[in-house]
Amino acid sequence: MHVVLFSGGRGAGKIAQSLAARPQVRLTVVVNAYDDGLSTGTVRRLVPGMLGPSDVRKTVSNLLEVQDEHGRRMANLLEHRLSLDGHVTRVSTEELLRRLLSSVLDSRLKHVSRLSGDLIEHWIGLALEVMQQAASDDVATWIDGMSVGNLVLGGAFLDGGRNFNLAINNFVEAVELRNARILNVTEGENRVLVGLKRDGTFLHDEVSIVDRQSDVPIEQIFLLPRYLTPHEEESITRSTFSEAMKILTEFQHLPSLNEHVEIELNSSDVIVYGPGTQHSSLYPSYMTKGLADVIASKSEIEKVFICNLSPDHDIQSETVRSLVLKATKYFNAGAIDVRDPSAYVTQCLISTTPGSNQPWGFEELDTGVGTIGVHLGKWTSDGLTHDGNKVANAVSTLARKRGNDEAQSLQTVSVVVPVLDEAERLPTVLEKLLAHDWLLDGVIPEFIVVDGGSTDGTAQIAASFPGVQLVQMHRGTGRGEALCAGISASKGEYIVTFPGDDEYQLDAIESVVRTLRAHQTQVVFGSRVGLCVDSDKRLQTIYGGRTRTYFLSKWGGVSLSLLSGLFWRRWVADVLTSVKGFRREFICQLTLKGYSADWDARVIVDSSRMQIAIAEVPVQYSPRTPSEGKKIRARDGVRALRVLLVERLR
C-alpha cells in the first residue's frame, strides 16, 4: 500500500515511523521548506537561495531512528547541536572543520560507510566555507546551536548547483535512508512565509507564525518571493486590513508542484494530512500550484485529515471545522478549479481531549464541510503525541475499506451494542471500540448501537460518535428485541453482540472473532465463568448480601446450563453472557425472537436443532451491582428457562 503523508518536522513523527516500519507499506513523506527559525534561519541567511532545511532534516532523522542501529547513529549525528564553548573567534574554515571533526564528528562518522562519511565531511566543509565568507560577525556567534544536519543539507545544496530538491535526494542517499522517500512539495523555488491576523497584525516571517501570539485567528498566509524591506513592512502595518490583504495578495507568488510529488500522488493508495503546525508545516504545502488538482483527481482513494491533539500557537481559536475549511481554502489557492472540502478530505481522525468525552471543536464539524467521514477515538497513548500504530492502523483500514484488492483479505465484523439509559458508561465503551487496533485483528469493524428508548440522552451520545450507526427503538423494548434490530441492520461477515455498560473488556470481541475465524465455528459465547476464580464469591459481591437475589442468580445460572446440556445437548457454562459471536450464514437461520434473556435461550435451541456446535472462550468481566445500574433481573432468567423447557416439549 502506497501512502503519501504530508508532514512537518515532528508533528506526524510517530505516524511516519509506524508506517515506515511496515513492510507492506511504501511511504512517501512530502514536506515544505519555508521554516526560518534558529539555525535554519542562519543557514538561509548565509547561503543565498537556500530553503529551510530543518523539516527535511527532522523527517529524515525521525525515520532513521526506526530503520536500524546504523540509522539511529546517523540520526544522532544529524540532530547534534554544535557548541564551540566561546573559544573561537575568527579562524579558518579548515581549522573550524578540524575542531568540529575532532570534537563531534569523528566518533559518529566512523559508523557510516566511507563514501557517506567523505560526502558528509565534504558538505560540512563546503557549507562552513560559504557561510563564514558571508557572515559579517564572528563564527562563534552563529555556529553555536547549529545542527549538523542543517550544515550537511546546506553543503549538499551548494554541491548540487544550488538545486534544493537535488540536495534532498543526495542527502537522503548519503545518510542511507531506505524506509521512505522524502520530497519537497515544490520545484524548489525560494519563498518566504508571512501571515496576516484577523486584527491586522502582520506576521513577517515563519517564526512569527509559529511563535506564541494572541488568540486572534490568522486570517491568511502568503508565500512571497522575498522578505519585505523595513519600509514595505511599515507600509503594511499602517494599512487597513483590506489594504494589507490586497498588497500581500498582489506580492504573493505561488511555487510550482514538484513533478516527483505528482508521480507519487498518482500512484498512491491513500493520502494523509498529518498533524502539526498547520499554518507553517501544512497549509503552505497545500498552496502549491497544481497540487490540489492532482489530489482532487484521485477520487477513488481516501484522503485522511489527522487533527492535532491540542491547539498549537497558530490555531488557538480554531475548531476542527475551521481547520478543514482553511485547508480547502489553501488547496483552492493553487488550483485551477475551486472545489468543496470533500474533494481534498474524505476522512477525519479526531482524538478526544484527555479527560473529556468530546474533542475540541468536534461539535462544529457539520455537513457544511461536505461528505467527510469523521472517526472519533483516543489516537494517543500518552495524551501528548499521536500513537503511531493506532493511527497507522486506522489509515490502513480506511484505505482497504475503499475496496482495493488487498481488502479482500480483510473480513468485516458488525458489533451490535444494545443500550438503555447508559449515558454515563456508553461514551467509554464507544471510545474503546473506535480507537481499537482492528486492523491488527485483520477485520474492518461496523458499530451499531440500538437504543431501547433511553430518556437520559444515551441516543444523542451514540449519534454524536462518527462511524456509529444508531438504531432507535421505543421505550419498553427488550434487550432481545434490540439485538434482533441491530442484527437486521448489520452487514458484517461476523456479528458480535457487546453490551454498552463497560462490564466486559474489549478483548472479549477479539477472542470471539478469533475463534470464529480460526476454527470455522458458527457460534461462540464469551464465557464469564472461564476466567472466574470464585464465581460464588463474585455473586455475593454483586448482590451485596441480598440472599434471595444471590440464590436465584447462582442456581438460575446453574439451571440454565444443566437444561441446555440435558435437553439440547449444548453444555454451555454461561448461557446469558452478553458477548456472543456468529457467522452471518448461521445467524440468518436463527428465529431472531425473544424479548430479553429468552433471546439467548433461543440461540441454544436453534443451534441444537440445526446441529451447530457452540464454542466458548473465557472473557474478562467486571460486574456492577443493581445500585450501579445492573439491569438483568431474576425474571429474565425465568424467561430463558421457560424457553428451554417449552421448546423441548413441542
The predicted pLDDT at position 549 comes to 54
Residue ranges of alpha helices (H) inside 490-581 are 507-518, 535-543, 547-568
CB 105 within 8 A of CB 151: no
Residue 484 shares a structural domain with residue 567: yes
- The DSSP 8-state label assigned to residue 446 in this structure reads E
21 lies in some domain:
no
340 lies in some domain:
yes
Residue 433 shares a structural domain with residue 318: no
Among 219, 251, 283, where does a domain finish? 251
In this predicted structure, the answer to whether residue 303 has a pLDDT above a threshold of 70 is yes
8 lies in some domain:
no
Residue 375 shares a structural domain with residue 428: no
- The pLDDT of 538-560, averaged and rounded, is 59
Would you say how long the chain is, in residues? Answer: 650
What mean pLDDT, rounded, does the chain reach? 85
Among 347, 376, 406, where does a domain finish? 406
- The pLDDT of 270-298, averaged and rounded, is 97
CB atoms within 10 A of CB 95: 11
Residue 221 shares a structural domain with residue 314: no
156 lies in some domain:
yes
Residue 275 shares a structural domain with residue 238: no
For 230-271, what is each residue's pLDDT tens digit?
999 999 999 999 999 999 999 999 999 999 999 999 999 999
The predicted pLDDT at position 364 comes to 47
Among residues of the chain, what percentage have pLDDT more than 90? 49
The closest alpha carbon to 275, from 1, 5, 35, 22, belongs to: 5
With b for 16 or more beta-carbon neighbours within 10 A and e for fewer, the 429-459 pattern comes to bbbebbbbebbebebbbbbbbbbbebeeebb
Residue 225 shares a structural domain with residue 293: no
207 lies in some domain:
yes
Q: Pairing mode, if any, of strands 494-497 and 523-527?
A: unpaired
Domain enclosing residue 472, as ranges? 410-649
Among 167, 184, 201, where does a domain finish? 184
For 403-448, what is each residue's pLDDT tens digit?
554 444 567 899 999 999 999 899 889 888 877 767 667 777 889 9
Q: Report how far residue 616's alpha carbon sits from residue 271's, in angstroms, rounded to the nearest whole number.
A: 41
Residue 367 shares a structural domain with residue 342: yes
Q: Pairing mode, if any, of strands 192-197 and 494-497?
A: unpaired
Pick from 73-87, 199-213, 434-448 the range whose average pLDDT is largest.
Answer: 199-213
Residue 319 shares a structural domain with residue 446: no
In this predicted structure, the answer to whether residue 55 has a pLDDT above a threshold of 50 is yes
Residue 161 shares a structural domain with residue 268: no
**Lowest mean pLDDT segment, chosen from 206-215, 558-567, 596-605:** 558-567
Residue 550 shares a structural domain with residue 628: yes
The predicted pLDDT at position 14 comes to 94
The closest alpha carbon to 151, from 39, 31, 60, belongs to: 39
The predicted pLDDT at position 649 comes to 76
**Lowest mean pLDDT segment, chosen from 88-102, 123-137, 441-455:** 88-102
Q: Report how far residue 272's alpha carbon sits from residue 3's, in angstroms, rounded to the nearest whole number.
A: 7
- The pLDDT of 605-630, averaged and rounded, is 80
343 lies in some domain:
yes
**Lowest mean pLDDT segment, chosen from 193-207, 267-281, 331-345, 565-579:** 565-579
With b for 16 or more beta-carbon neighbours within 10 A and e for fewer, the 327-366 pattern comes to bbebbbbbbeeebebbbbbbbbbbbbbeeeeebbbbeebe
Residue 196 shares a structural domain with residue 179: no
24 lies in some domain:
no
Domain count of the fold of the chain? 4
Under 8 Å CB-to-CB from 556, ≥6 apart: which residues? 634, 637, 638, 641
pTM for the model: 0.73
| Strands ordered across the beta sheet of 614-618 | 468-472, 443-451, 411-419, 494-497, 580-583, 523-527, 614-618
The predicted pLDDT at position 628 comes to 64
Residue 52 shares a structural domain with residue 120: yes
For residue 99, what is the enclosing H or E element? Answer: helix 93-100
25 lies in some domain:
no
CATH number for the domain spanning 424: value is: 3.90.550.10
Q: Pairing mode, if any, of strands 443-451 and 523-527?
A: unpaired
The predicted pLDDT at position 582 comes to 95
Q: Report how far residue 573's alpha carbon sits from residue 575's, in angstroms, rounded to the nearest whole number.
A: 6
Q: Report how far residue 285's alpha carbon sits from residue 271's, in angstroms, rounded to the nearest whole number.
A: 14
- The pLDDT of 331-337, averaged and rounded, is 95
